[in-house]
């Protein structure tokens, strides 16, 4: 897989998050869906851009100072894949535990999104863009770009592609609301209902699928 392929892989891995999608739906069902949605998307993009900038600095430093940076990147990719596989397998074979509504921290946070205002939506999304999982995949993507050493417009194109894909689960629903307006409420309600009922299975299969791809990619790069 070439560097562009690695960037796309890490972008997809960073994007797929049921929590981010559920948070987006909650924001879009608030009293100001368009304003909150645009603010939420802007915050996520800003957070992702900051993560890309920091990761590029670290990636460039790693490429210049560490001869085995490619090996390090492959090892980190392999370890991330193994962690996701273990998480997916444990979640698949564990018995579901019933929770009372609003009992978890995530439930409490999501419950408060219905009354959120644009500045708060922006801030929360910016923090999501700098979340640990996204930071790791962003770092790996930017390290791949730094390692490729293409420079100029090609690097900018790869970075922009990464940001667009990594934010896809936000800009697609927000775009639907901006374009369709009130008619989007029914679409989003059905989508959120389906997501809520299948969230556990999605977490399992996404973890297993992405984990398997990362493990294979890491092994190929280590022994190629």
Residue 42, CA distances (Å) to 29, 50, 80, 111, 118 in order: 17, 12, 28, 21, 10
Residue 174: per-residue pLDDT: 92
Q: With contact defined as beta carbons under 8 Å apart, do 40 and 24 qualify?
A: yes
Mean pLDDT by 10 residues, the chain (224 residues): 82 86 85 90 94 84 61 84 89 59 50 78 90 89 76 84 93 89 77 77 86 90 78
**What pLDDT does 101 receive?**
42
Tens digits of residue pLDDT in 166-188 = 999 999 999 988 888 777 777 77
Specify the pLDDT at position 104: 45
pTM recorded for the entire structure? 0.81
């Amino acid at each position: 897989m070439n560097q562009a392929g690695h960037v796309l892989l890490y972008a997809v891995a960073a994007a797929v998050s049921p929590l981010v999608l559920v948070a987006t739906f909650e924001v879009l069902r608030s009293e100001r869906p368009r304003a909150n949605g645009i603010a939420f998307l802007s915050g996520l993009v800003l957070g992702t851009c900051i993560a890309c900038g920091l990761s590029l600095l670290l990636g460039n430093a790693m490429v210049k100072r560490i001869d085995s940076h490619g090996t390090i990147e492959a090892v980190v990719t392999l370890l991330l894949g193994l962690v996701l596989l273990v998480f997916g397998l444990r979640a698949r074979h564990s018995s579901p535990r019933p929770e009372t509504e609003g009992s978890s921290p995530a439930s409490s946070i999501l419950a408060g999104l219905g009354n959120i205002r644009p500045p708060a939506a922006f801030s929360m999304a910016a923090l999501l863009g700098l979340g640990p999982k996204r930071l790791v995949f962003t770092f790996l993507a930017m390290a791949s770009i730094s390692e490729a050493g293409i420079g100029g417009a090609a690097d900018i194109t790869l970075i922009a592609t990464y940001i667009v894909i990594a934010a896809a689960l936000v800009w697609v629903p927000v775009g639907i609301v901006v374009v369709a307006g009130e008619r989007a409420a029914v679409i989003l309600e059905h989508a959120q209902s389906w997501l809520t009922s299948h969230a556990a299975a999605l977490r399992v299969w996404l973890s297993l699928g992405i984990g398997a791809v990362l493990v294979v990619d890491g092994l190929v790069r280590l022994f190629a």
